[in-house]
Amino acid sequence: MGSGAIATKRLNLLRHAKSSWDDPVERDFDRPLNGRGHRAARRMGEWLKEQQLQFDSVIASPALRIRQTIEGVESGLGRKLSPVFDKRIYMASAASLFDILRETPDSVETLLLIGHNPGLEDLLLLATEEDVSALRAEAEIKYPTATFATIELDVESWAAAEEHMPGRLTAFVRPRDLDSTLGPDD
């Protein structure tokens, strides 16, 4: 790792913000964000803007709470993310998310995947199994709502993305890390 001989792909993960369990909805798919979720999404967007992060591609679940998370992030970011919505991400397992990653064109260097737990958390843990950093240990405890993570993958092609690869977690930012009123975690 890190010899410079292998190209690096950057996988960014964003879990949807806190959803409301108070609104009676017929389908889980239609559950909206609550007030804290809206605030956390906007704050995460502001942080992404501060970090000057750019994404070559954004793929997201079409669930309402994801769409509302994206709206909040875009509001804080001050620009559109222009995601491609993929219904396979809705409640997907890590294995299904790896399938989606492997379909990503190699022209994409930096990907943002916006989805749900437990799939996102499982994907992060499987893609960084060899990472012994304090950041990874923190992620192993819990992947809260509206949390943003970055994984550096030493692969030249997304087609090589698989479980048990030597990915490095380089960012794990929870809303409460940016604003204490956005905790405690759910």
Integer-rounded Cα radius of gyration of the chain:
16
The answer to whether the annotation marks 65 as part of a ligand binding site is yes
Q: Which residues pair with 151 in a beta bridge?
A: 11, 169
What is the C-alpha to C-alpha distance for residues 10 and 167, in angstroms, rounded to an integer? 10
Neighbours of 44 (CB within 10 A): 27
- Local structure of 151: helix, strand or coil: strand
Name the nearest CA neighbour of 60 among 25, 32, 100, 20. 100
What is the C-alpha to C-alpha distance for residues 114 and 60, in angstroms, rounded to an integer? 5
Name the nearest CA neighbour of 67 among 139, 14, 117, 120. 14
Binding site for substrate: which residues? 65
Binding site: which residues? 65
